[in-house]
Amino acid sequence: MALMTGEQYIESIRKMNMEIYMFGEKVENPVDNPILRPSLNSVRMTYDLAQDPQYQDLMVVTSPFTGEKINRFTHIHQSTEDLKNKVKMQRLCGQKTAACFQRCVGMDAFNAEFSTTYEIDKKYGTSYHENFKKFMNYCATNDLTVDGAMTDPKGDRSKAPHAQEDPDMYLRVVERRPDGIVVRGAKAHQTGICNSHEVIVMPTIAMGPDDKDYAVSFAVPVDTEGIFMIIGRQSCDTRKLEGSQMDVGNSEFGGVEALVVFEDVFVPNDRIFMNGEAEFAGMLVERFAGYHRQSYGGCKVGVGDVLIGAAAVAAEYNGVAKASAVKDKLIEMTHLNETLFCCGLACSTEGTATESGAYIINLLLANVCKQNVTRFPYEIVRLAEDIAGGLMVTAPSEKDFRDEKLGKYIDKYFRGVADVTTENRLKILRLIENLSLGTAAVGYRTESMHGAGSPQAQRIMIARQGNLGAKKQLAKAIAHIEE
């Protein structure tokens, strides 16, 4: 099958029978829902860019398994060049949407599953790797969007999965049948789940022998019986219902999160990638987290490019573009943004082959990349708000601006430089508001903190990967210490 166009993707989602709830009601037509549609448009961009000849090298790759041209979002990395192109592709998608485009988590799950299932099979003689390759090629050939579901609600975080008062706080196997398994639980903070064809479920933490029922990984269509989604609230989300493009800031693109409930969902044997091999749960989590932390060195940088550009436009419209203090702020924003990109490329360049032949990033540098992402976007946002000024959050609505009586006063008193319309000034301020405080802030600022693991998760991995013992030996050698 050829790569899907953006419109074909939209129609493929329309044909699915997903169970989605928002504001206490079932969403009967999620594709055309004004709150959900911008999120769908962001995924669509990954299809439209793959059809554009000028982006073919980044967006399209030849599958090493089928020989077909596939979207890079369904590819298994075969080299450090693949790893670097992934980051560059993500920056491009961020630049084009100024939002989360949602296919990264599935791509990162693909690559983590590929190498982990290979090593499980090597030890136990299972068929998980073949199961996964069959699923992977099916998704790649049909150009499907796949969500990756890792984060469990966790309940009491001081307790292991098996020790929870409510055993469903971590997704688990509740029944094993000759033809498959039945699972129950939930996955939280699922970006893009309502825009996906399939979902890969993974454990969320390293596990011990007592957690065997929780050490499960599999894939099912998102409209499988027993799966339903509850959409999360975002700041300013209902502005999308008002029909004002100006007040939304980024009216075309966006992202949404959902709690996904698995209420006794059946998974056939050929869709299972882990089933009780608890000692491999940590490997799968570590590899997925590493790939996903690499991703943030691309996607967040692309969105950062848009925010820096918006701040520069606001400075021009405010009449302060030539002020040395403003220039310095824009330089600092650029420095921070490009540093994140450097980290994404560095962990890719230092990637190595796994036993399966697929390439993995340098895990230490990937965690350093994400640790920086938990900090730098906050400073970039702060500087953008500084440059924009207070009107960013006190401007009247578009309805007031269009009002016969009020509009002329808003136009008169909120104009900046004379040759720029008040409307354009308000539009760029609303875009900055959207990226800093509104719905897009979920996919930029706040997700920079908690997506792919909150800061302490990276610090644990940095401590583990940092090889402090070797560094101590270097110091002792220089100091001629003998012990």
Q: How far apart are CA 65 and CA 74, in angstroms?
A: 12
Selecting among 119, 385, 433, 447, the annotated active-site residue is: 447
Tally of CA atoms within 13 A in the half-sphere of 22 that contains its CB: 20
Specify whether 257 is catalytic. Answer: yes
**What is the rounded CA–CA span in Å between residue 267 and residue 116?**
19
Annotated binding site for FAD: 191
Q: Which residue of the set 19, 198, 257, 286 is catalytic?
A: 257
Residues 359, 291 contacting (CB under 8 angstroms):
no
Cβ atoms 112, 291 nearer than 8 A? yes
What does the alpha-carbon distance between residue 55 and residue 48 come to, in Å, rounded to a whole number? 10
292: annotated active-site residue: yes
Q: Is 299 annotated as catalytic? A: yes
E strand residue ranges, 269-321 = 272-275
Angle at 323 between CA 322 and CA 327, to 5 degrees: 80
Q: Which of 93, 194, 299, 343 is flagged as catalytic?
A: 299
Respond yes or no: is residue 447 known to be catalytic.
yes
Catalytic residue (choose from 189, 292, 317, 347): 292
Q: Rg for the chain (alpha carbons), in Å?
A: 24
d(CA 125, CA 323): 67
Query: Which residues make up each annotated binding site?
Result: 191
Q: Which of 9, 291, 296, 444 is flagged as catalytic? A: 296
User: Which DSSP string do the residues of 430-448 spell out, in sequence order?
Assistant: HHHHHHHTSHHHIIIIIHH
Q: Active site includes 100?
A: yes
Other C-beta atoms within 10 Å of 412: how many? Answer: 9
Catalytic residue chosen out of the listed positions 117, 145, 191, 204: 191
Asked about 291 being catalytic, the answer comes back as no
Taking the C-alpha atoms of residue 73 and residue 51, their distance in angstroms, rounded to an integer, is: 14
Q: Which listed residue (19, 77, 104, 354) is catalytic?
A: 104
Instruction: Dig out the tokens for 330 from the structure.
Output: 């824009």
Catalytic site residue from 47, 80, 97, 100: 100
- Report yes or no: 9 and 44 within 8 Å, Cβ to Cβ: yes
Catalogue the active-site residues: 100, 104, 191, 257, 292, 296, 299, 447
